[in-house]
Structure 1
């Protein structure tokens, strides 16, 4: 059996689409279709059922993928293993949310670039969870950091870390809030106070209100700015209350520029996932970056 045909088959199985597989393989869509038909003729069995949007594997297709994929991935690892000595010539394309990627991921990965500039080269893109996963699936990125776990077999996700969210404000606002009243009344004690958020839908505030107070915010945002670091700057300047990841707030809390308004027994958490296309962790530069990030995340609070 032709290994090229098997490679195309496994890629289609993971991608769920001839078109997407063609992009990942650098082939035309008709070529991928022809190769799958050739393999189906050789086996005498259909491997996929065609649908309006993509394909789904038959039982035979699933069985073949389960048997063949580990061996094909191992062959890629053997073939690419010799590239480890040429690590400096490799470029890693990373995508993720701007604040987390800038504050946490990039300081770790710069350790792979080398002091003399002869290490791994980095190319970074920012986007929403949907955008970075779509780009990863399409082959535009090598690794993605996402707050959503992808479905299907094309992408493989590993939990990276949990992010704690805290309710903060500048001292002048904190002084106006009675902690006892907040503890007893919950969200109503914060009504009429200005809110700073990244979007009109108040995603961070809404998640915090639902998790901690079992309520929805009744006010709209006073300041809406699509960057968590800008939200923090506005909070430090006294524009109002904000819900932010604790790691972003630590320096401001230590300097007394902002204060934590509430300390619930179970703080709201958000999980980040480190995602790669299935099989690509056989490539040394992707595997090393993946390992660096997973190792560093152990010490992230």
Structure 2
């Protein structure tokens, strides 16, 4: 009976390992394909005349979103039968990103009411980076965040959903693919936004040990060691930020000391962590 249980456990571990490997392979294959598309398109598209691939209606819609023309945006969303509200301008930004980037809360709220709205994740990261608290709250009220699952996943992890939550192969995504909303808020020292995200259940997961031999870590190190190291750096930088330490820990001082010791140990293993120690010491002071 004991042998059967051991065999069953080994079978489950193998199955989970195979599933993880398949997901990682699929993720990297998709990124390669999107990279090829971007390379084929090249940088020249940035210098094309605005609207070369847009209809006059779409041009007017994007301009209205960018400049906060609420009546026009509302009328077009409610009355137009041909409008593609996910269309993008020559810089690869859609109406939601333009509205958020220019701090137009009312326009953002109008767009968020539309079903199948693309790049909601990009808009959230953009609002966090600019410290637009009210817009962050509006975006977090979107149904995509109802269960809180989207907040725990980075753009790279969201990719497996095969939707348009993030613009993986466009310039619309200006943040590292391993950045989650709360990591970005912590990096930007946005206390109020960090607090909002913590109330939503978002947390920064501590990276695995450097010598971890789980399937996920092995795959990441083998496929792209640079991205793996960068994701660890971004996570620890978020954990070490004053905003996250003060709001997520019952004893921020003790947590800071423990984190400092851990970073000092990592600096002897991963040299890139030496700069992070300096950042952490500045944060504590």
Instruction: Report the structure number with the largest CA radius of gyration.
Output: 1
State the TM-score, normalized to the length of structure 2. 0.27
Structure with more strand by fraction = 1
Structure with more helix by fraction = 2
Bigger RCO of structures 1 and 2 (CA < 8 A, at least 6 apart): 1
